[in-house]
């Protein structure tokens, strides 16, 4: 596809490189950088649409809203643009490194790049109406011209052969490539495996052997299931990082951030410094120093 076939012009290379870099960073588990790259690619795409539509450029929010108000983009595209922008801002200002947010930003960006190619790249300014040619000599203005001959009619009605349009081949191939990339990312990013149940460490006592003199039949003792203790609720006293392992040595263990005053579901103590909580349906680790019981 040449730069004349899309509104991005030279920016189309940046958009292609941006979505590839976003996918590559997710594969390397650099989720924070992937979300930032998705926002940068979105900004390049929005600027291209504004330049084509004659919209004055400002900040990213104003440009997206102006495109929607002028009818350049649809309501769904407007919502997707703002979602990618919000995820990117969270990665920049809050150091968000969540794999789910990175995957969502890449999915929305890939969908909108496809929409950008198919729905917005073919828009052109209306051509000026053809100018009326002067009447040939000997023909009065307003008089009806002579009817064309049968040979002229056959020549005019003959269909014109058109060359093969490269866009009709590239678009399906690009859609297939995007679908394959999404399937690869979904298979690669999976939730953490469930923790294997711990084996009981209680000592096993052997039953005394029965004496031949006395044979006492076994007595069945009904067992009762202990009532499940209610979950203990704690809340954070400050901003608190949630980690997949009880360690601060690696930034890759950080999976979330809790704001001050957020209630958490306490599971158990891990040691004197760390405890286990429920976070997004799975066990995670937080520092006990920044937790206090809910009254």
Q: What is the pTM of this model?
A: 0.41
Say whether pLDDT at 211 is over 90. Answer: no
Distance between CA atoms of 285 and 80, rounded to whole angstroms?
33
Residue limits of CATH 2.30.30.40 in the chain: 232-293
Q: What would the mean pLDDT of 15-32 be, rounded to a whole number?
A: 93
Distance (Å, whole) CA 12 – CA 48: 9
pLDDT at 224: 44
Q: Is the pLDDT of residue 235 over 80?
A: yes
- Residue intervals of the chain classified under CATH 1.20.120.330 are 3-122+169-188
And the tokens for 228?
A: 């499940």
Instruction: Give the right CATH number for 232-293 from 3.30.2420.10, 3.40.50.450, 3.30.1330.20, 2.30.30.40.
Output: 2.30.30.40
CATH hierarchy code of domain 3-122+169-188: 1.20.120.330
Share of the chain above pLDDT 90, in %: 29
User: Given pLDDT bands bounded at 50, 70 and 90, which one contains residue 226?
Assistant: very low
* Residue 53 binned pLDDT confidence (cut-offs 50, 70, 90): confident
Look at residue 8 and tell me whether its pLDDT is greater than 50. no
Going by pLDDT thresholds of 50, 70 and 90, the confidence category of residue 163 is: low
Residue 247 scores a pLDDT above 80: yes
């Amino acid at each position: 596809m040449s730069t004349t076939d899309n509104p991005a012009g030279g920016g189309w290379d940046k958009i292609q490189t941006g979505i590839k870099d976003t996918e590559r960073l997710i594969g390397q588990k650099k989720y924070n950088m992937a979300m930032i790259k998705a926002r940068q690619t979105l900004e390049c795409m929005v600027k291209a649409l504004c330049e084509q539509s004659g919209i004055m450029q400002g900040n990213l929010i104003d440009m997206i809203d102006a495109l929607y108000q002028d009818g350049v983009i649809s309501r769904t595209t407007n919502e997707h643009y703002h979602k990618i922008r919000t995820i990117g801002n969270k990665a920049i200002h809050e150091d968000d490194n969540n794999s789910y947010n990175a995957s969502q930003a890449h999915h929305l960006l890939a969908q909108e790049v496809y929409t950008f190619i198919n729905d917005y790249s073919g828009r052109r300014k209306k051509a000026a109406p053809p100018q009326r040619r002067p009447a040939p000599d000997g023909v009065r203005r307003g008089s009806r011209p002579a009817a064309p001959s049968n040979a002229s009619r056959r020549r005019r009605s003959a269909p014109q052969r058109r060359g093969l349009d490269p866009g009709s081949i590239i678009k399906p191939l690009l859609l297939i490539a995007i679908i394959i990339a999404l399937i690869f990312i979904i298979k690669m990013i999976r939730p953490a495996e469930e923790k294997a149940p711990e084996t009981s460490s209680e000592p096993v006592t052997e039953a005394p052997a029965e004496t031949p003199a006395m044979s006492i039949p076994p007595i069945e003792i009904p067992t009762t299931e202990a009532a499940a203790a209610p979950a203990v609720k704690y809340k954070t006293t400050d901003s608190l990082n949630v980690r997949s392992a009880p360690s601060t040595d690696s930034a890759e263990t950080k999976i979330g951030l809790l704001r001050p005053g957020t209630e958490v579901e306490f599971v158990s103590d891990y040691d004197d410094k760390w405890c286990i909580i429920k976070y997004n349906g799975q066990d995670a680790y937080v520092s006990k120093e920044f937790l206090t019981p809910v009254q």
